């Protein structure tokens, strides 16, 4: 399984960059006063948007950076 070290490194890097434990207090503060169902829906929406953005930049990030002149 030659992909295993790469996947572990990629996951660890994304985990450090996104910092889920550090964002929990911010999420709680911003959703204070919302009911549980609304909080859950908001969290799911945020995760879907983040996954789409990460996928798009993973697939097309190099093209975008080349287009704007960053090497």
Q: How far apart are CA 1 and CA 11, in angstroms?
A: 16
Contact between 33 and 42 (Cβ < 8 Å): no
Which pLDDT does position 4 carry in this prediction? 87
Which pLDDT does position 1 carry in this prediction? 58
Which pLDDT does position 22 carry in this prediction? 95
**What are the boundaries of each domain within the chain?**
36-71
- For 6-56, how does the pLDDT look when each residue is reduced to its tens digit (9 = 90+)? 889 988 998 999 899 999 999 999 999 999 999 999 999 999 999 999 999
Q: How far apart are CA 24 and CA 39, in angstroms?
A: 12
Q: How far apart are CA 56 and CA 17, in angstroms?
A: 17
């Amino acid at each position: 399984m030659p992909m295993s070290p790469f996947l572990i490194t990629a996951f660890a890097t994304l985990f450090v960059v996104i910092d889920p434990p550090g964002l929990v207090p911010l999420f709680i503060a911003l959703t204070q006063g919302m009911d549980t169902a609304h909080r859950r829906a908001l969290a799911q929406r945020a995760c879907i948007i983040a996954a789409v953005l990460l996928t798009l930049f993973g697939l097309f990030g190099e093209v975008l950076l080349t287009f704007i002149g960053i090497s």
